[in-house]
Amino acid sequence: MGKDHHPAPFSHGQVADFQRDGFLGPVPILEMEEVLDLRDRVDYLFQNLDSIESELYEVEAAHMERPEEVVCHFLGGWRVDKRLRELVFDPRLTGAAAQLLEVSRLRFWHDQVFYKPAGHPGVVPWHQDYSYWTRTAPARHVTINILLDNADEDSGCLQFVPGSQEWGLLPPVGFDQPLEKIREGLLAGQEFLPRAVPVPAGSATIHHSHTLHGSGPNGSKGPRRALAFNYMCAETRVADDSEPLLRGAPHLSQGEFVAGELFPVVWKAP
């Protein structure tokens, strides 16, 4: 895509692949100079989690308790870092998400950072994103996961189970659980045949909200850092208002649109 991005960047074939498999990638998104800048910014956030924690939506609690064991994962970096905030609105991301979701208006849900230091044993257990998002409905969400480092199986690149977006909703899995935890509850016919997707720095994978995905430990000599941007259909509503949608977000009642400053519309059909 590079700088000549188009609002609908994918070919019919790529859209068909996404619909069949539930994911697409690698997709080039960022220039290398942007990657270098973002590495510094993400390192800063990672190294200062204690002081910025209150500005974020969430930091993986098990990581804070056992940082040598559990992968580092936090939500809300866009509220702290200017460049992450700009990326939320970047047409290279929003055009891609809107096309794959087939929406005429796209809304931002939240961002995430996944940080695996060199040689770190932490994994991201197999999960479906929407299993953590049922407080928003309908399920029409998509994730763009951009790598800031070259990722392969050795450094714990993402893996996906093609077709699992059709399996219905599986239970949520804690990020401190074993990689294979979800497999305990799979049904006959839910064939678990994962595909690892190596991705160069600056490129992304994009996945459907119900596609099973996970990633192994980082056995490499360098960090494996990823930025995830989660988008949804602009008509998404609050399905459960018993708790704030995200920490610090203003209260929205059940049935209301998930809207407001924290959930901007980021793309509209021309």
Q: What are the residues binding ligand AKG (CB under 6 A)?
A: 114, 124, 129, 143, 145, 158, 213, 215, 226, 228
CB of 247 to ligand AKG, least distance (A): 19
The position carrying tokens 């949520």 is 172
CB of 143 to ligand AKG, least distance (A): 5
Judged by CB, which is closer to ligand AKG: 7, or 162? 162
Identify the H or E element spanning 227: strand 224-233
Judged by CB, which is closer to ligand AKG: 24, or 252? 24
Query: Which tokens is 152 given?
Result: 């392969």
DSSP string, 29-88: ---HHHHHHHHHHHHHHHHTHHHHGGGSSEE-HHHHH-TTTS-EEEE-GGGT-HHHHHHH
Please count the other Cβ atoms lying within 10 Å of the Cβ belonging to residue 221. 9
Judged by CB, which is closer to ligand AKG: 218, or 236? 218
Tell me which residue of 196, 214, 217 sits closest to 120, measured CA to CA: 217
Tell me which residue of 26, 31, 47 sits closest to 83, measured CA to CA: 31
CB of 194 to ligand AKG, least distance (A): 13
Judged by CB, which is closer to ligand AKG: 75, or 98? 75
CB of 124 to ligand AKG, least distance (A): 4
Q: What's the one-letter identity of residue 152?
A: D
Judged by CB, which is closer to ligand AKG: 115, or 267? 115
CB of 115 to ligand AKG, least distance (A): 9
Distances from the Cα of 270 to the Cα of 6, 69, 108, 234, 235, angstroms: 12, 47, 18, 15, 18
Q: What's the one-letter identity of residue 162?
A: P
Closest-approach residue to ligand AKG (CB): 215
Judged by CB, which is closer to ligand AKG: 14, or 131? 131
CB of 227 to ligand AKG, least distance (A): 9
Which residues are within 8 A (CB) of 26 and not within 5 positions of it... i.e. 6 or more apart?
A: 197, 198, 199, 200, 203, 204, 205
Judged by CB, which is closer to ligand AKG: 227, or 252? 227
CB of 69 to ligand AKG, least distance (A): 16
Q: What's the one-letter identity of residue 176?
A: D
